[in-house]
Amino acid sequence: MSETRTEIASLGEFGLIQRLSQGFEATLPDTVKGIGDDTAVIDLGHEYGLLTTDLLLEGVHFDLTFSPLRHLGYKAIAVNVSDIAAMNGTPGQVTVSLAISNRFSVEALEDLYAGIKAACADFRVDLVGGDTSSSRSGLLISVSVFGKVAKEKIAYRATARPNDLLCVTGDLGGAYLGLQVLEREKQVYLANPGMQPQLKGNEYIIQRQLKPEARMDVVYELDEAGVIPTSMIDVSDGMASDLLHICSQSGVGAMVFEENLPIDEQVYLAATELNLSPLTAAMNGGEDYELLFTIRQADYDKIKNNPKVSVIGYITDQPDVVQLTSKGGNKVPITAQGWNHFS
3 state DSSP class of 203? helix
**Does 1 score more than 70 pLDDT?**
no
How many Cα neighbours within 13 Å face the side chain of 174? 25
Helices (H), the chain: 8-21, 69-85, 106-123, 174-191, 203-210, 216-225, 239-250, 265-273, 278-284, 300-303
Pairwise CA distance, residues 23 & 182, whole Å: 43
Find out whether 257 and 186 touch, Cβ atoms under 8 Å. Answer: no
pLDDT of residue 197: 79
What is the overall mean pLDDT for the chain? Answer: 93
CA gyration radius for the chain? 20
Phi/psi at 129 (5° precision): 165, -170
Pairwise CA distance, residues 243 & 255, whole Å: 10
Find out whether 191 and 184 touch, Cβ atoms under 8 Å. Answer: no
pLDDT of residue 164: 98
Pairwise CA distance, residues 337 & 343, whole Å: 11
Architecture of the domain whose range is 165-333: Alpha-Beta Complex (3.90)
pLDDT of residue 342: 43
Nearest Cα to Cα of residue 82 among 206, 198, 211: 211
Nearest Cα to Cα of residue 77 among 113, 35, 34: 113
Would you report the helix, strand and coil content of the chain in percent, each value rounded to 5? Answer: 35, 25, 40
- Summarised one tens digit per residue, pLDDT across range 191-239 is 888 777 778 889 999 999 999 999 999 999 999 999 999 999 999 999 9
* Averaged pLDDT, 273-281: 95
DSSP secondary structure code for residue 30 in this structure: T
In the chain, what are the domain boundaries? 21-153, 165-333
| Contacts with 6 (C-beta within 8 Å, 6 or more apart), sequence order | none
* Averaged pLDDT, 317-331: 96
pTM over 0.85: yes
> If pLDDT is split at 50, 70 and 90, which confidence band does 336 have?
confident
**Does 303 score more than 60 pLDDT?**
yes
21-153 against 165-333: fold identical:
no
pLDDT of residue 320: 83
CATH fold of 21-153? 60s Ribosomal Protein L30; Chain: A; (3.30.1330)
